[in-house]
A and B are shown apart, each in its own frame.
Chain A
Amino acid sequence: MSSRAGAEAPSSAKRRRIVSRMMTAACAAAVVLALVPLAFVLFYILSKGLTALNWNFFTKLPKPVGETGGGMANAIVGTIKLIFIASAIAVPVGMLAGIHVAEYKGTPLASSVRFAADVLNGIPSIVVGIFAYGLVVLPMRRFSAIAGGVALAIMMIPIITRSTEELINLVPQSLREGGLALGASRARVTFTIILPAALPGILTGILVALARIAGETAPLLFTALNNQFWSPRLDQPTASLTVQIYTYALSPYDDWHRQAWAGALVLVALVFVFSVLARVVTRRLERMNVG
């Protein structure tokens, strides 16, 4: 690493070594520079969120303007509901599309779908919201949990498709050949041999997708809208944690600000649970493959 090249003048070698050290230090500084805001954000969410968090937050409905107290119980349930609707649509569609891309790679359809999934992943969520508005809200003539779920599903699909495809590609080819040699059909080999082998990994993809949509606000603003009460029906406007945080944070009331922090803490906790679960599954997978 030290450069005492004979052809170089010693002063130049020294200068180059110093430049190298400085650039290394600059790169380390960049890491610190990125970790500072992370620590800053996490610190505030924890400290402000924990002081504002109480049992009422999880069990009570929002109080009308002017009254203090109340909680976001309906928003928490609403978020869970939206996640379920989105998963019910996106998991089968994403997985089957991923299976096709992995099993028939090289065909024009497979390569364009892979590309489309990547592109879909990059489309701003607010644009997906407009699309869901035109697709579901306008025909139904009202904002609804279904519309919100559809918007979130569109954001989940590309993540699930791509991870399913990648995980199926990781399954050893010999397994597939073994199945085919026994005379099984492609469908049978895929569904009874390949898919079970890839399933833990596909689960990771689903968890990553869930972590992403759980924190989405923009596509819900004009699909699920918001609701200060319970909304048992799926074709009614539904509260969600994120939209509720948004309204509360922009309100002029201190009590609502505190609840917005509490909501942020709960939301980050939810997202981290999904991310950590995904990581644990990945870790276990890797260990299995090594062993």
Chain B
Amino acid sequence: MRRRSLLRRTRRRRERDDGGFRLGTALFALLVLLVVAAIGFELFRNSTLPIRKFGWNFWRTSDWDPVSGEFGALPFIWGTVYSSVFAIVFATPIALGIAIFVSEISANRFRRPLAFLTELLAAIPSIVYGVWGIFVLVPIVRKFETLVSKTPLHRLPIFAGPPYGIGMLSAGLILTIMVVPFISSVSREVLRAVPLTQREAAYALGATRWEAIKVALRCGRTGIFGAIILGFGRAFGETMAVTMVIGNNPQASLSLFAPQYSMAAVIANEFSEATGDLYLQALTEIGLVLFVITLVINVLSRVLIWSTGRAPKRRIEPASAAAAAPEAA
């Protein structure tokens, strides 16, 4: 009789423990969810003034004059999109080359060091890229721009204007360097998820190495696409390095030589000095849009990357497990 009650008591305690454990950890898990929601809500709540006052015109006009209360964010959007697209165009082939080289071509013992070196690029803080950018990269870019401005290329709208060095070209180049490691490391993961049997089948049909790689690339194409979009998202929100070299001039221009501005840069520069609610809220609204866009980009790219991570396994279950083993090392 005593033993049974003891058993019952311990079991009841266990159940209470389990419930408490589940609830307790769930609260913290909920907190993570809440933070994301709260960021969106706070940004929205704190940008109602400009949303009411300007509506869509906020995004269609380019007068940014805090003194007279005119706020048009078009130059910042332009600068952000322009620099990010520039970075993605140049970073994608380089990053894919690295991913292919590390996961498909290089000898096994070089894989780790190579992956480590490219990830070192991602570990360097943005501010350090900025310091390097203004003192080293910008003078080089200025020299290049001076050279170009003496050639007929200068007549093209993208090479127009005086050679400042500081401007869209410097910002785009620095973003390219910063985005490469992101795209390459995610693409590498995607390529690793493509089963070895795919390449073996290609080789068995007499394919060359490049043709086999192309098969693997095709298998992982949604994931690689996701990696590129993820890199785009990074470039979109990158702040310090861009702020330091883009020139901070709210003028949308097609010229790579022109000093321009980006959404993140204007927040970094003006937020702590913004006087008046409307000014502060206008900057917050820019932050809100930055948040929404990166949110969409992130969700989209995760879905794409996850879908390749799982899809091949479902299709070719039995062979892939054994074949993937040597590659995992």
* B is a partner of A: yes
Interface set of A (CB-CB < 8 Å, partner B)? 1-3, 5, 8, 16-17, 19-20, 23-24, 26-31, 33-35, 37-38, 40-41, 44-45, 48, 92-94, 96-97, 99-101, 103-104, 109-110, 112-113, 115-120, 122-131, 133-135, 143, 154, 157-158, 161, 183-188, 190, 211, 214-218, 221-222, 225, 242, 245-246, 249-250, 257, 260-261, 264, 267-268, 271-272, 275, 279
The docked-state distance in angstroms from the alpha carbon of A250 to that of B14 is 61
Shortest distance between the CB of B248 and any CB in chain A (Å): 10
**A154 vs B180: C-alpha distance in the bound complex, in angstroms?**
25
Say whether, besides A217-B240, A246-B127, A186 and B17 are in contact (CB < 8 Å): yes
- A267 close to B125 (CB less than 8 A): yes
B290 in contact (CB, < 8 A): yes
**Is B62's CB within 8 Å of the partner chain A?**
no
Q: How many residues of B contact A (CB 8 A)?
A: 90
**Contact indicator A222/B271 (Cβ below 8 Å):** yes
Q: B175-188, CB under 8 A of A: which get 1 and which 0?
A: 00100110010000
Bound form: Cα–Cα A184–B95 in Å: 49
Say how far B27's CB is from chain A's closest CB, in angstroms: 8
Q: How far is the CA of A74 from the CA of B13 in the complex (A)?
A: 51
Convert B227-259 into 0s and 1s, putting 1 for each residue whose CB lies closer than 8 angstroms to a CB of A.
000100110111110001000000000000000
Tell me if A112 and B131 are in contact (CB < 8 A): no
Q: Is A119 in contact with B299, judged by CB distance below 8 angstroms?
A: yes
A136 to B: closest C-beta gap in Å:
11
Would you call B98 and A27 a contact (CB within 8 A)? yes
Partner of B268, one of A29, A104, A221, A249: A221
Whether the Cβ atoms of B271 and A188 lie closer than 8 Å is no
Apart from A24-B105, A119-B298, 6 more pairs, CB < 8 Å: A27-B101, A34-B184, A93-B28, A97-B29, A115-B299, A217-B240
Partner of B136, one of A5, A40, A92: A40
Q: Is the CB of B237 within 8 A of A126?
A: yes
Task: Please determine whether A157 and B284 come into contact, CB atoms closer than 8 angstroms.
Answer: no
Q: Is the CB of B36 within 8 A of A100?
A: no
Contact B128 A267 (CB under 8 A): yes
Determine whether the beta carbon of A3 is less than 8 Å from that of B127: no
Give the docked Cα–Cα distance between A257 and B236 (Å). Answer: 28
- Chain A residues with Cβ under 8 A from B38's Cβ? 131, 135
Once A123-B291, A126-B268, A126-B287 are accepted as A-B contacts, the answer to whether A113 and B123 lie under 8 Å apart by CB is no
Cross-chain contact of B131 among A115, A218, A260 (Cβ < 8 A): A260
Collect the chain A residues with CB atoms within 8 Å of residue B18's CB.
Answer: 185-187
Bound-state CA distance A119–B233 (Å) is 11
Contacts of B86 on A, CB cut-off 8 Å?
Answer: none
Is residue B20 contacting chain A, with contact meaning CB distance below 8 A?
Answer: yes
**Which of B25, B101, B114 sits near A96, CB closer than 8 Å?**
B25
Q: Could you list 21 examples of A-B contacts with CB < 8 Å?
A: A2-B208, A20-B209, A30-B101, A41-B129, A96-B24, A97-B32, A113-B32, A116-B35, A116-B36, A118-B298, A124-B290, A127-B287, A127-B291, A129-B271, A130-B42, A183-B10, A221-B271, A242-B240, A245-B128, A250-B244, A271-B124
Complex CA gap A149/B291 in Å reads: 21
- Give the complex CA separation of A271 and B244 in angstroms: 21
Chain A contacts for B100, CB-based, 8 A: 27
**Please, which residue of chain B has its CB at the minimum distance from the CB of A135?**
B42
Query: Could you tell me if B267 and A130 are in contact, using CB atoms closer than 8 angstroms?
Result: yes
Shortest CB distance B297–A (Å): 7
Q: Roughly how many angstroms separate A69 CA and B272 CA in the complex, as a whole number?
A: 28
Nearest residue (CB) in A for B272 is A222
Q: Are B210 and A120 in contact (CB under 8 A)?
A: no
In the complex, which residues of chain B have a beta carbon less than 8 angstroms from the beta carbon of A45? 128, 132
Out of A23, A35, A127, name the residue touching B290 (CB < 8 Å).
Answer: A127
Task: Determine the chain A residues whose CB is within 8 A of the CB of B264 once the complex forms.
Answer: 124, 126, 218
Q: CB < 8 Å: which of A40, A100, A260 contacts B28? A: A100
Q: Which chain A residue lies CB-closest to B11?
A: A183
Chain A residue nearest in CB terms to B34: A116
Whether B22 sits at the interface, judged by CB under 8 Å, is yes
* Complex Cα gap A112–B30 (Å): 9
> Contact between B208 and A17 (Cβ–Cβ < 8 Å)?
yes
Q: Does B153 contact A (CB under 8 A)?
A: no
Q: Do residues A134 and B35 form an inter-chain contact, with CB atoms below 8 A?
A: no
Roughly how many angstroms separate A185 CA and B16 CA in the complex, as a whole number?
9
A264 touches B127 (CB 8 A): yes
Residues of B near A34 (CB, < 8 A) are 94-95, 98, 118, 121, 177, 180-181, 184
The interface bits of chain B over 83-104 (1 if a CB of A lies within 8 angstroms of the residue's CB, else 0) are 0000000000111111011100
A68 to B36, alpha carbons, bound, how many Å? 45
Q: Is B43 an interface residue (CB 8 A)?
A: yes
B311 adjacent to chain A (CB < 8 Å): no
Quick one: closest A residue to B284, CB to CB?
Answer: A130
Q: Is the CB of B101 within 8 A of A271?
A: no
Complex-state Cα separation, A174 to B250, whole angstroms:
61
